[in-house]
Structure 1
Amino acid sequence: MTAGPTPEPVPEERPAPSGRRAWLREHSELGVSVLLLALGVLVLTDALTMDVDISQRGPVGPRTVPLVIGAGLLLVAVLLAVDVLRGGRGEAEGGEDVDLDEPADLRTVLLLVGVFLATAVLIEPVGFPVAGALLFWGTAYALGSRRIDRDPLIAAVLALFTYVVFNNLLGVPLPGGPLMGVL
C-alpha cells in the first residue's frame, strides 16, 4: 500500500496583540522619532555648551553647523512623529536584493575591520599617505577587487591627494610620516 504525500503542518497562528502592545506595534516608527529627538537634543546641548573664541571672523562660527544640524534633527523628529500618529507608515524597501536567509559574509567584515585597525595603528608611525594607501587598497581588496596592477596605484594617488587637500589646502594637519620628509 502506497502512502500519499504527507500534508505539511499548518503553522499555529498567534493571536493578534491587543491594547497597548498593538498600538506600539502599529506605531513602532515612533522609536526612530525618539532616537532623532534625543540625538538632536544631544547635538544642540553640545553646540550650546561649546567654548568658542568670541574674536572670530564673520557671522559663521564653529557653533553654526551643529546648531543647524541639531535643529534639523529636532524638526525631522517632530514631523516624523506627527506623520506616524496620523497613520503614516514607511514602505518596505522593494528594490533591495538581499537574501536574509543567507549568512553574513564574515570574511569581508573581518578583512575590513583588520584594514581599519591597521590604519589606526599605522597612521602615526608611517604617516597618512602610506596608511591611507593601505586603507584604500585593503578596502578595495576586501570588497572584491583583485586588480593588483591597478589598485595600489589608485590607492597611492587617492591617499596623496587626500593628504594634500587636508594638510595643505584645508589646514587640517595630518601626520606625514618619514616619507613626507623625502618628498
Structure 2
Amino acid sequence: MREHSELGVSLLLLALGALVLTDALTMDVDISQRGPIGPKTVPIAVGIGLLVIAVLLAIDVLRGGHGEAEGGEDIDLSEPADWRTVLLLAGVFLATAVLIDPLGFPVAGALLFWGAAYALGSRHFHRDPLIAAGISLAAFIVFDRLLGVPLPGGPLMGVL
C-alpha cells in the first residue's frame, strides 16, 4: 500500500467535496432572487470540482502515477526542528488574537509584524518597530478605509 499512499489525499478531497456539496445543496436561500446565478452556484461548482479531482487523482495513482519529491527544497532533514521559533511565532499569533479587540488592528498588527520579525531572527530594535507600525497602519487604512472591510480601530480610532 506504500506505493498507493497518495490515495489518502484522494479520499480527503472526496470527503471535502462531499461535505461542500452537501452543505451547498442544503443551504437556505431566498428564492425571490432574480437571475440564474445564486449563492449556491459557486459552492456547488467547488464541490463538484473537488469530487472530479479526487476521482482523477485516484485513477492516476491506481495506474501507477505518483508525485515527485521536490528537488528545490533547501531543507536539511537531519537537523532538528527550531521549536523556539515555532513557539515564538505561535505566541505572537495568540497575543494578536487576544489583543486585537482591546488595542485595535493598528497596534495589534504592529505587534504581530514586529514579533514575527523578531521570532524569525531580525534584531534591528530601532528599525523593526517603525516598519511594523507602518505596515500595520497601511494595512488598516487600505482595508478599513479604502476597501470598506471593518477592522477594530481600538484607541486610535478617533485619531485615524
Q: Normalising to structure 2: TM-score of the pair?
A: 0.86
Q: Normalising to structure 1: TM-score of the pair?
A: 0.76
1:65 CA displacement? 3.9
1:136 CA displacement? 1.3
1:130 CA displacement? 0.8
Distance 1:58 1:117, change over 3 A: farther
- Paired letter, 2:113: F
Alignment coverage as a number of residue pairs: 160
1:50 CA displacement? 3.1
Query: Which residue among 107, 122, 130 is the counterpart of 1:153?
Result: 130
Query: Which residue among 82, 85, 96 is the counterpart of 1:108?
Result: 85
In structure 2, the gaps of 5 or more residues are none
Answer yes or no: is 1:135 the counterpart of 2:116. no
2:155 corresponds to: 178
Deviations 1:147-178 (A, max 9, x none): 23332222222222222233233333211101
2:72 corresponds to: 95
1:28 corresponds to: 5
Deviation larger for 164-173 or 87-96: 164-173
RMSD over aligned Cα atoms: 2.2
- Paired letter, 1:83: D
In structure 1, the gaps of 5 or more residues are 1-23
Query: Which residue among 11, 29, 37 is the counterpart of 2:14?
Result: 37
1:125 corresponds to: 102
